[in-house]
């Protein structure tokens, strides 16, 4: 009897210890070599695409911030200068790769104690999958704030940055702080341009008062369009997400103007989003951005824009954006609706490969990255989920297509080579940044958990697994049986006038043809049959575009 009781007690102690060990390794993953990688699931849209880890932080650190005092006070000068440093409030949002293997990171000042709103690190300084300490940018030697507290020449609050082909860094300093739902303005927003070769300021231009709304932080992102033959012929397209406008800056003319249109206002029905934290708690939140990001489409000479609270994608011609006279005459029917993405496919950031016309987009609610082809009709079925990992990508915030060599950071998951896949340029990587923002808000900041991470995968490998993103027409569609379920048969989403003639029937393999010629057989003709309209009507109809009212009209 004593032996049975002892054995039962030992089994109970082992079970409790195992449960506590699992919980401990869950809360402190980097003490156990980071989040455990789980084999991809076909149900998640994962198929032979390996997600490699570049580096990560538990807590963001700076090279020159070790001797700073922690200060949670509301002294505005300390907030601006970065002399106050609260590590838990430094939450990176965006990033950009430069040709000299530097990674620029933006840290919006939405909380107290952000040491530097723009910083960088070198890829070659990464060791053991740990991101090195950040270096403030521009270097402190060129910073005017140390000589004058709260100087207007300092970078106060940067949301995202953009690098152009001429070796310049562009950023919009909103020159205001968003703290505790309050906005502290320190001056007009400014467009700053730095030379990456010398790390010196080239130009700092204040936005005119009629280009933005006071007490708003709506200038969230910018896209740069540079003439390959003339670096001075450059335009910056600044997204004013709260007012439904694109603020345009001409580098050659040194002048601002803006373009506004009703299409920039997204549909509020898709503004409710939800994700789960690593502790499996569902978090629901709302987005109030009209549109958040734009990418350059050089092939069609258009700017492609989307919103993180909408499924719609639309384009604006470069010719309209680059002309002040045309921009002032908007709205015009030149803003074209491309289509609608799949459910839970709202994306705050996307990027486009100008060679293959493949669009890579964040999928916030799916914890990963999706793709679709710009030359194919955009429908919910055409968007593919390529990567999905809840543990390592709990809250994706930025994505970039880069040709910087990251091969030494791969873990050799695949043995086969994709060097000749589809004949397009090799060496491109899709880099994704994810932070643990929702978990920090819900559960507090955990110093022993991976809170910020850079992950990447090979573009060729993803396109090998998902050739749908390369196809140019649905007539040659390939749908793997292991991918997402069939779309709803009665889908009646908004259709574009551009997509009237493509074939929506699934691909049928060619039938076997005998070598001999069979005898002719008379077959009675079938009665005339009119297919069901794409708008769900039982009567056949045709859709055309009325340019006067800029909407689709049906003719019966």
The token duo for 452 is 């910020």
Q: What backbone phi and psi angles, to 5 degrees, belong to 555?
A: -115, 130
With vertex at residue 457, the alpha carbon angle to CA 452 and CA 461, rounded to the nearest 5 degrees, is 165
Q: What is the CA radius of gyration of the chain?
A: 26
Higher-confidence residue of 421 and 469: namely: 469
Kindly report the number of other CB atoms within 10 A of residue 235's CB atom.
Answer: 19
Structure tokens at 509: 């393999």
The pLDDT score that the predictor gives to residue 282 is: 92
∠ CA 455-443-447, rounded to 5°:
60
CB 366 within 8 A of CB 347: no
Mean of the per-residue pLDDT values for the chain? 75
106-160 tens-digit pLDDT: 999 888 888 889 999 999 999 999 999 999 998 754 433 333 444 556 788 999 9
The top-scoring range by mean pLDDT among 84-88, 321-325, 535-539 is 321-325
Number of continuous H segments (helices) and E segments (strands) in the chain: 6, 30
Please give the share of the chain, as a percent, with pLDDT higher than 70: 66
The rounded distance, in Å, linking the Cα atoms of 412 and 374 is 31
Give residue 500's pLDDT: 33
* Distance, CA of 387 to CA of 382 (rounded, Å): 16
DSSP letter string over 422-443? GGS-S--EEEEEEE-HHHHHHH
Q: Decide if pLDDT at 13 tops 70.
A: no
Are the C-beta atoms of 540 and 528 separated by less than 8 Å?
no
Contact 88, 79 (CB under 8 A): no
What span, in angstroms and rounded, lies between the C-alpha atoms of 357 and 344? 23
pLDDT score of 402 more than 70:
yes
pLDDT at 338 over 50: yes
Residue 490 has pLDDT above 80, yes or no: no
CB-CB contact of 60 with 452 (8 Å): yes
Pair 541, 534: CB distance under 8 Å: no
Q: How far is CA 508 from CA 471, 487, 511, in A?
A: 16, 18, 9
Cβ–Cβ < 8 Å for 423, 22: no
Task: Give the Cα separation of 288 and 280 in Å (integer).
Answer: 25
- What's residue 405's pLDDT? 93
pLDDT at 399: 96
Structure tokens at 376: 């194919």
Largest CA distance in the chain: 96
Joined together, the tokens standing for residue 8 give 């039962």
Q: What is the mean pLDDT of residues 68-86?
A: 55
Dihedral of the alpha carbons of 136, 450, 343, 318, in degrees to the nearest 10: 20
CATH, range 42-142+160-227+236-412+421-476: 2.120.10.30
What SS3 class is residue 335? coil
> What's the pLDDT tens digit per position in 347-391?
889 999 999 999 999 999 999 999 999 999 999 999 999 999 999
* Predicted pLDDT at 551: 52
pLDDT, mean of residues 169-175: 93
What pLDDT band is residue 423 in, cutting at 50, 70 and 90?
Answer: very low
Q: Give the residue among 234, 263, 228, 229 at the shortest CA–CA distance from 248.
A: 234
**Do 310 and 288 form a contact (C-beta atoms < 8 A)?**
no
CA 252, 255, 258: angle at the middle one, nearest 5?
125
Most confident by average pLDDT, 251-260, 269-278, 463-472, 518-527: 251-260
Closest CA to 435 of 372, 344, 353, 348: 348
What letter would DSSP give residue 319? H
Residues 229-253: tens digit of each pLDDT: 999 999 999 988 878 889 999 999 9
């Amino acid at each position: 009897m004593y032996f049975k009781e002892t054995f039962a007690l030992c089994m109970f102690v082992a079970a409790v210890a195992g449960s506590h060990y699992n919980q401990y390794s869950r809360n402190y993953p980097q003490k156990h070599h980071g989040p455990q990688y789980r084999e991809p699931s076909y149900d998640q849209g994962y198929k032979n695409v390996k997600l490699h880890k570049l580096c990560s932080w538990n807590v963001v650190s700076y090279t020159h911030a070790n001797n700073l005092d922690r200060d949670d006070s509301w002294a505005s000068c300390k907030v601006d200068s970065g002399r106050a440093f609260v590590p838990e409030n430094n939450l990176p949002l965006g990033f950009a790769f430069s040709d000299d293997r530097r990674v620029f990171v933006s840290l919006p000042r939405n909380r107290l104690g952000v040491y530097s709103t723009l910083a960088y690190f070198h890829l070659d300084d990464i060791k053991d999958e740990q991101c090195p300490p950040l270096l403030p940018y521009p270097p402190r030697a060129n910073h005017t704030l140390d000589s004058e507290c709260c100087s207007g020449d300092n970078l106060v609050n940067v949301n995202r940055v953009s690098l152009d082909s001429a070796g310049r860094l562009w950023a919009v300093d909103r020159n205001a702080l968003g703290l505790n739902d309050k906005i502290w303005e320190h001056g007009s927003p400014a467009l700053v341009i730095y030379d990456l070769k010398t790390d010196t300021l080239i130009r700092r231009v204040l936005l005119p008062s009629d280009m933005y709304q006071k007490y708003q932080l709506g200038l969230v992102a910018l896209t740069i369009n540079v003439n390959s033959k003339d670096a001075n012929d450059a335009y910056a397209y600044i997204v004013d997400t709260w007012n439904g406008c694109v603020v345009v800056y001409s580098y050659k003319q040194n002048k601002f103007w803006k373009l506004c249109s009703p299409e920039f206002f997204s549909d509020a029905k898709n503004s409710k989003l939800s994700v789960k934290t690593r502790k499996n708690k569902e978090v629901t939140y709302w987005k109030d951005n009209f549109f958040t990001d734009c990418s350059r489409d050089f092939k069609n000479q258009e700017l492609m824009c989307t919103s993180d609270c909408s499924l719609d994608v639309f384009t604006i011609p470069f010719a309209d954006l680059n002309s002040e006279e045309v921009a002032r005459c908007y709205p015009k029917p030149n803003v074209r609706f491309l289509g609608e993405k799949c459910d839970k496919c709202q994306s705050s950031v996307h990027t486009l490969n100008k060679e293959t016309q493949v669009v890579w987009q964040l999928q916030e609610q799916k914890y990963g990255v999706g793709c679709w082809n710009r030359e194919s009709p955009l429908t919910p079925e055409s968007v593919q989920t390529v990567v999905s990992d809840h543990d390592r990508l709990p809250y994706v915030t930025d994505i970039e297509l880069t040709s910087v060599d990251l091969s030494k950071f791969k873990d050799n998951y695949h043995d086969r080579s994709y060097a000749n896949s589809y004949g397009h340029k090799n060496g491109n990587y899709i880099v994704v940044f994810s932070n643990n923002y929702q978990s920090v808000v819900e559960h507090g900041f955990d110093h022993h958990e991976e809170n910020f991470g850079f992950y990447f995968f090979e573009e060729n490998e993803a396109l090998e697994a998902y050739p749908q993103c390369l196809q140019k027409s649905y007539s040659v569609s390939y749908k793997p049986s292991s991918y997402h379920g069939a779309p709803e048969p009665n889908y009646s989403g908004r259709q574009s006038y551009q997509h009237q003639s493509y074939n929506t029937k699934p691909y049928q393999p060619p039938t076997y043809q005998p070598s001999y010629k069979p005898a002719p057989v008379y077959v009675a003709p079938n009665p005339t049959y009119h297919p069901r309209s794409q708008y769900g009507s039982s009567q056949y109809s045709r859709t055309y575009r009325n340019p006067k009212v800029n909407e689709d009209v049906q003719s019966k």
